[in-house]
Amino acid sequence: ALLRAIAQAPNRHLILLTATPHSGIPEAFRSLLGLLRPEFEEWDLQDLKENQRIELARHFVQRTRRDIKETWQETACFPTREAEDETYDLSRCYRELFERTYAFCSELVRTGQQMEQRRRRVRYWGALALLRCVMSSPAAALAALANRSAGSREEEAEESFSRWVFESAQERTDDELPLPALEAAEQTLPDSDRRRLRELARLAHQLHGVDQDTKLARAIELVKRLLAEGFHPILWCRYVATAGYLADHLRQHLGSATQVACVTGRMGDEEREAKIAEIAVDQPRVLVATDCLSEGINLQEKFTAVIHYDLPWNPNRLEQREGRVDRYGQRAERVKVVRFFGRDNPVDGAVLQVLLDKAREIRRTLGTHVPVPEASESVTQAVLEALFLRQGSGSGERQLALDLGMAEV
């Protein structure tokens, strides 16, 4: 309201500065442009006439890092971002948990097709949420499978379930387990299926530690290598349960000479800032964090690498994570960003192929990140189609790198 009141004065000239003019929501972008000229807010930006494009270009100017590098070469404003992919293979026991969870979730979705729409959608969200937890860590899997309350959550609005599965880049992502979506889905299950969930929890309990959790073991190897190369990494996790589990094992295997801090959404803003402030810069250091830290706080003074322990399901969030270290004020000449995923994990394969690889290619081509639209109904349906609903998606025929090349995405 303040901005609109200021902009309404016809003799007032405005310069509006923002690091993210387009957040992926067209309506929000048009509302900003409308502060400059009211008619801009009504234009269809996907179908501009040439005279409109010329007029808009007189009012909207974007300067990227590439522009600055070419103009101010005598000053090194930004580090070089080195992107790597590191992989792991599921252990025999973890693969058994995945296969049985996948079969359960597939059946959950398939049998839900006969239900009325609201209950069907509840099952969709429950299946996606459970699969994300199981592939995040044994700790997240066990907590999701074993710690559900007896109360029904089915009446909760299904629209709220999306924040438990897809990360929003517009607001702080909730890093707690997606229990509301799981509990709501469970209310639609017969007793036999609830017994299957308890059996999955038993399998998850057996996976804790580096002997069976190859994702954890490989991550510890990767952290040790980065530390030996002089980097100070941040490991980004989706859930609080995974962050605590990972931090505990890193402390066990890295020794007392390396600082390991863990920051999650269970801490208040001041506590998070204090936790970062107490990290000493004269010792090797590792930070484990959830997306509660992926925006709004500078980490470039103490950290020089990023590992995506859990791949985000939103390219905007991936860029926000990496931007915590790859930003103005970073003293290191180079920073490293690592996408970490399972070579035989179909869930990671789907997210990489459609969402993250495309975003990386756009960034490589344009020299800047272009925000994508927030997770929508069409993206949700595309993920469901790829993971659960296509013909021939049985265990024996399922491709490891699932095809999500759909027009909706």
The residue extents of the domains of the chain are 2-62, 80-88+210-344, 92-206
pLDDT of residue 193: 87
pTM of this structure: 0.83
For the record, the structure tokens of 397 come out as: 């025929």
Tens-digit pLDDT profile for residues 25-34: 778 888 989 9
* Residue 354 banded pLDDT, cuts 50, 70, 90: low
Q: What are residue 352's phi and psi, to 5 degrees? A: -65, -50
Task: Decide if 273 contacts 299 (C-beta within 8 A).
Answer: no
Q: For residue 24, what are its two tokens?
A: 């992926």
- What is the rounded average pLDDT of the residues 156-182? 74
> In the structure, what pLDDT confidence band is assigned to residue 71 with cuts at 50, 70 and 90?
low
| CATH fold label, 80-88+210-344 | Rossmann fold (3.40.50)
Q: Are 98 and 138 contacting, i.e. CB atoms less than 8 angstroms apart?
A: no
pLDDT of residue 172: 66
pLDDT at 169: 64
Contact (CB, 8 A) for 168 and 374: yes
84-95 pLDDT, tens digit per residue, is: 999 999 999 999
In angstroms, the CA 261 to CA 175 distance is: 17
* Residue-wise pLDDT tens digits, 341-350: 998 887 887 7
pLDDT score at 192: 85
151 vs 320, which has greater pLDDT? Answer: 320
- Please determine, for residue 143, whether its predicted confidence score (pLDDT) is greater than 60: yes
Q: Cα(265)–Cα(177) distance, rounded to whole angstroms?
A: 12
pLDDT at residue 108 above 80? Answer: yes
pLDDT value of position 75: 65
- Of 93-107, 144-158, 238-252, the range with the highest mean pLDDT is 238-252
The side-by-side arrangement of strands in the sheet containing 259-263 is 80-88, 334-342, 305-308, 233-237, 285-290, 259-263
pLDDT at 27: 83
With a cut of 70, say whether residue 102 has pLDDT above it: yes
In 3D space, the residue among 83, 86, 80, 85 whose CA is nearest the CA of residue 326 turns out to be 80
